[in-house]
Amino acid sequence: MKKFFEEFKTFITRGNVLDMAVGVIVGGAFGAITSSLVGNVITPLLAWLFKAPNPDALNITLRAADEAAGTEAIVLGLGTFVGAIINFIVIALVLFAVIKAFNKARELAAKKEEPVEEAPPEEPKPTAEDLLGEILDVLKKQ
């Protein structure tokens, strides 16, 4: 049991887990912001475009509530569904922009870190006298 807790402690204190925890917290806060944007700005604008008194008017009632019979209303929440789709698109768009910016920054950092490779110095070409001297040396050895 002690080994289990030691392994858990090692796991939980790794950098990746802490980064993930921060990401989840920031993601939750960002979700609240986008939900507010969709619920308080975009959905009312859609209701205004469709000349509905409020966003709930975009929902379709299939069966009205009947208190005498004790039945609840059956409602297709199209307004709610459209709001969820817009919420998803806004989150996906921002996430795409953040990842694109992160990749661009990483690419720029990699370009700065790459050392510029210098061409090796060229060896001087032998002159005609050098070549004739080498030929003469080979002939003398034979």
* Cβ burial 96-113 (10 Å sphere, 16+ → b, else e): eeeeeeeeeeeeeeeeee
List, for residues 101-136, the tens digit of each pLDDT value: 888 988 888 887 766 667 677 777 888 888 888 888
User: How far does CA 81 lie from the centroid of its chain?
Assistant: 24
pLDDT (0 to 100) of residue 114: 66
Distances (CA, A) of 48 to 24, 44, 54, 61, 74: 34, 6, 8, 19, 24
Query: How many other β-carbons are positioned within 10 Å of the β-carbon of residue 44?
Result: 14
Provide the β-strand partners of residue 74. Answer: 63
pLDDT (0 to 100) of residue 28: 86
Q: Strand runs (DSSP E) across the chain, as ranges?
A: 60-63, 74-76
List, for residues 27-44, the tens digit of each pLDDT value: 888 888 888 887 788 878
List, for residues 43-94, the tens digit of each pLDDT value: 788 778 877 776 666 778 888 888 888 888 888 888 778 778 887 888 888 8
Q: Give the pTM.
A: 0.51
Where are the domains positioned within the chain?
A: 2-115
pLDDT (0 to 100) of residue 115: 66
Determine the Cα–Cα distance for residues 79 and 53; give it in Å rounded to an integer.
12
Confidence tier at 16 by pLDDT (50, 70, 90):
confident
Q: Specify the CATH number of the domain 2-115.
A: 1.10.1200.120
- Residue 26 pLDDT exceeds 80: yes
